[in-house]
Structure 1
Amino acid sequence: MEQRQHLKDASLGLQHVLAMYAGAVIVPLIVGSSIGLTTAQLTYLISIDIMMCGVATILQVWKNKFMGIGLPVVLGCAFTAVGPIINIANTYSIQSVYGAILSAGLFVVIVARYFSKLIKFFPPVVTGTVVTIIGLTLIPVALNNFAGGQGAEDFASIENVSLGFITLLIILVVLKFARGFFASIAILIGIIVGTIIAAFFGQVDLSPVKEASWLHLPVVFYFGTPEFHLVPILTLILVAMVSLVESTGVYFALGDITDKEIREADLKRGYRAEGFAIMLGGLFNSLPYTTFSQNVGLIQLSGVRKLKIIYIAGVMLMILGLMPKIGAATLAIPESVLGGAMIAMFGMVSAYGIKMLSTVNFEKQNNLMVVAISLALGLGVTAVPDVFSSLPSSISVITESGIVMGSLSAIILNIVLNFNLQPSDEIKDQIYEAAEDDAK
């Protein structure tokens, strides 16, 4: 009985790993390819990133007095950091990238206590909008994978689209007819069965498994001694602040799913854990980390909220990072199969954001405008990424991301439209009493 439970827990943990693995791999792959890393360097970057995703996740789940939000959250490489890191590496050096990452992580740890005081700026109209935007703006990523992966020679082929639909159909069938444990691992079943079917069509490539080594150990400052330059540091500090905004939406979504009230102290520990994870990334020459929203959708789909499962996923990621040959096996999963699963997960994130918005009073025109404009900007930038290309590159980290634009818009518009800057009656009474006391 106990062994069966361990097997169930391992399956649920593996499901979380598979849900975020593609995102965890694609970021270092894009960065490494764009800055001219050698094959050996790129292999190290991917492996260490996978391992540090596990470390960062465990740091966030492990709640203590100093850090850790204690929610079933999974951390992965921050997509918003890709462009800035490539630009810094090509303009300065790769050593400057890691000097900036270390500085940004330290900055987050220091300002966490102050950033957490902004909780009053994240009512349901903001957090619901942010979560909805996160899900909707990631749908194009899912569809690109669904069609075989952006840039693939067989992009949008009948085989790829069919595999994507088959995977999605399997997930839906399992959710419809399965019960208990099997219903909770619907995503995992869909990915496994989809990959097996893909193998019969010659869509599964096992060459990465053959080429990968068995063991890979982390190295401190693998790419050399960090260099510290002001512009790269300020750039990645901005990226880190943007990631905190995204993470805040994920924290509140998970708090709602797990029926846990998110307080200022929780946010402070969560931000500190994220900052410390970023610093560790700089130390071992991986990349900055942030919360992964696809795992929120997975938690909502599976209904499994236990922290134990996330701990297992974190350990699995660490093992995969230390043993590249085992980790490479997941690269055999076709893009279209992952895309089918991503449509379900990202769609669930959006749906949950809409559920959070259901508690908002939309009889107030101001709330409608917060949601309307934020969604329009978030989805607009996602659909037309070059719309703000004429603006200075120093602020492109904000304008080139639909998630960032939509999230910041929701926060700012809520402050402008919903915060009453006039003193309340209670405050007025206190002022009058103080004035009378002074007069006496």
Structure 2
Amino acid sequence: MTRPEDVRYPFGQTLVYGTQHILTMYGGVIAPQLIVGGAAGLSATDMALLVTAGLFISGLATLLQTLGIGPVGSRLPIVQGISFVSVSTMVTIASNGGLRPVFGAIMVAGAIGLLLSGFFAKLVRLFPAVVTGSIITVIGLSLLPTAFKWAMGNDAKAADFGSMGNIGFAGLTLVIILVISRLFQGAISRLSILIGLVIGTIIAVFTHRADFSAVGDAKIMALPPILHFGGPIFEVGAIVSMTIVMVVIMVETTADVLAISEIVGTEADSKRVAAGLRADMLSSAVAPLFSSFPCSAFAQNVGLVALTGIKSRFVVATGGLVLLVLGLFPIVGAVVAGIPYPVLGGAGIVLFGSVAASGIRTLARVDFTDNLNMVIVAVAIGVGLIPIAAPTFWDKFPTWLGVIMHSGISATAIVAIMLNLLFNEIKRGNKPGASVFAAAEDRKDDLGDRLDDDIRG
């Protein structure tokens, strides 16, 4: 019997579905380069090189993750892109010493992560449904602010940021996606995100809200050069900081591998998780050679798999090939980059919300009777939302702790795992109905029973 992730579609459908994956994550995959490049004071030419290199490496990493080579690659429909988790650390390093110490730290940290992948994956038993459901829910909730920022125009300094025009285009794109999803079935419905992006962009062109002027200035073809910014510099402080970041990335990738396997309906044992982590870490270690940054599984594409029901890894591999081509042909990338952020924002609301919904669906399978699982979920999600609700909450804490906890996803994972160990794995002292929430549920059930008796009486 063919596993869901091994299903193959005709070439045309595969190409279209794969391209849809890339269009939904394109804005996210170029943002880290623009942020870090700006901190390093790069010229416009070097900034464009960073973007092209990021696309190229993301494409290679996606192919490695989906198709696999030996013990490397999860062989699941996972899109790899430049990690947002590493941005703040890279900005700090780049602001003081440029990009060469950044690249040196990434190489060493990636190699350390590669060595730890097998051991780290054995901890997969620490991720039952109560843990993974909390993590997946927070992944979706953590991504939603990005969609809202895109809907407002993305650039907070722009005069039209948050204007009714920008938000209107985001709403229009959202409505188009919803109408297509409701009225059409099968292949057309599955392409609702892509169709929404295309129609929204076309309308933006006719209303002069899309800018494709950069297309004329872009080179037709360019291969990312090796060590364009010079050889890497290895600084102890930068390496330690980046290694902490790599551990956080490994936590997030583990969560994404488990999330996508949950959505696909396939098994993700420790061996498969280890293979996914190796692809992540190997890609990250090699990335600096091409002037790029650490790679990570892209959570927003988990939502696309859940939304479309297209579970084939070959579809995502084709998307990775498209991403690689975009990295080789900057002029094509410039065209895709012309999609207005408000249009991306409208699609992002559906995508990222789908991730949160998938987490809620996972939590629905958790047994909340006479245990402390409700407490685990409540605290894990609460701590995970701190970076969204109070972005400066962890600023006064030690730097290493702040790096970890500023990521709501990793914070949720750590808290959920620790509480699950404390409340569920350590059985000694556990008593039925120990939770105040469990007691509340019992009272609610008793009230329901009395109401039923009254109705029957």
- The whole-number CA distance in structure 2 between the counterparts of 1:388 and 1:235 is 16
Counterpart in the other structure of 2:41: 36
Letter in 1 for 2:389: A
2:135 to 110, 118, 130: 130
Q: Sequence identity of aligned pairs in percent? A: 36
1:362 to 368, 386, 390: 368
Quote how far apart the aligned CAs of 1:364 are.
4.0
> Does the CA contact (< 8 Å) of 2:174 and 2:350 recur in 1?
yes
2:237 to 231, 236, 242: 231
Q: Secondary structure at the match of 2:81?
A: strand
1:379 to 385, 400, 406: 385
> Does the CA contact (< 8 Å) of 1:149 and 1:155 recur in 2?
yes
> Does the CA contact (< 8 Å) of 2:40 and 2:98 recur in 1?
no
- The whole-number CA distance in structure 2 between the counterparts of 1:244 and 1:52 is 18
Runs of 4+ in 1 over 6 A off after TM superposition: none
Task: Report Cα offsets for 1:409-431 as digits up to 9, x if no partner.
Answer: 112222222221769xxxxxxxx
Task: Report Cα offsets for 1:293-341 as digits up to 9, x if no partner.
Answer: 1111111111111122111101100110011011110111111000000
- 1:57 matched to 2:62? The reply is yes
TM-score by length of 1: 0.93
- 1:147 matched to 2:152? The reply is yes
Q: 1:173 and 1:39, CA in 2 relative to 1: closer, same or farther beyond 3 A?
A: same
> Does the CA contact (< 8 Å) of 2:144 and 2:353 recur in 1?
yes
- 1:328 matched to 2:300? The reply is no
- The whole-number CA distance in structure 2 between the counterparts of 1:202 and 1:93 is 38
> Does the CA contact (< 8 Å) of 2:100 and 2:233 recur in 1?
yes
Task: Report Cα offsets for 1:71-110 as digits up to 9, x if no partner.
Answer: 0000111111000001111223321111111111111110
Quote how far apart the aligned CAs of 1:6 are.
2.5
- The whole-number CA distance in structure 2 between the counterparts of 1:64 and 1:58 is 10
Q: Which runs of 5+ in 1 are unaligned?
A: 424-440
Quote how far apart the aligned CAs of 1:158 are.
1.3
- Between stretches 397-406 and 350-359, larger displacement belongs to 397-406
> Does the CA contact (< 8 Å) of 2:102 and 2:238 recur in 1?
yes
Counterpart in the other structure of 1:181: 187
Counterpart in the other structure of 1:79: 84
Task: Report Cα offsets for 1:97-140 as digits up to 9, x if no partner.
Answer: 11111111111110111101101111111111101000001111
Counterpart in the other structure of 2:51: 46
Counterpart in the other structure of 1:21: 26
> Does the CA contact (< 8 Å) of 1:133 and 1:407 recur in 2?
no
Q: 1:196 and 1:93, CA in 2 relative to 1: closer, same or farther beyond 3 A?
A: closer
2:104 to 99, 104, 111: 99
Size of the aligned set, in residue pairs, is 420
Quote how far apart the aligned CAs of 1:396 are.
2.0
Quote how far apart the aligned CAs of 1:392 are.
2.2
Counterpart in the other structure of 1:346: 352
Q: CA RMSD in A?
A: 1.5
Quote how far apart the aligned CAs of 1:5 are.
3.6
Counterpart in the other structure of 1:402: 408
Q: Which runs of 5+ in 2 are unaligned?
A: 1-8, 430-457
- The whole-number CA distance in structure 1 between the counterparts of 2:171 and 2:114 is 43
- The whole-number CA distance in structure 2 between the counterparts of 1:200 and 1:94 is 40
TM-score by length of 2: 0.89
Counterpart in the other structure of 1:437: none
- The whole-number CA distance in structure 2 between the counterparts of 1:280 and 1:10 is 27
Letter in 2 for 1:297: G
> Does the CA contact (< 8 Å) of 2:67 and 2:314 recur in 1?
no
> Does the CA contact (< 8 Å) of 1:160 and 1:336 recur in 2?
yes
Letter in 2 for 1:243: I
Quote how far apart the aligned CAs of 1:393 are.
2.2
2:217 to 199, 211, 214: 211
> Does the CA contact (< 8 Å) of 1:385 and 1:401 recur in 2?
no
Letter in 1 for 2:28: G
- The whole-number CA distance in structure 2 between the counterparts of 1:62 and 1:311 is 7
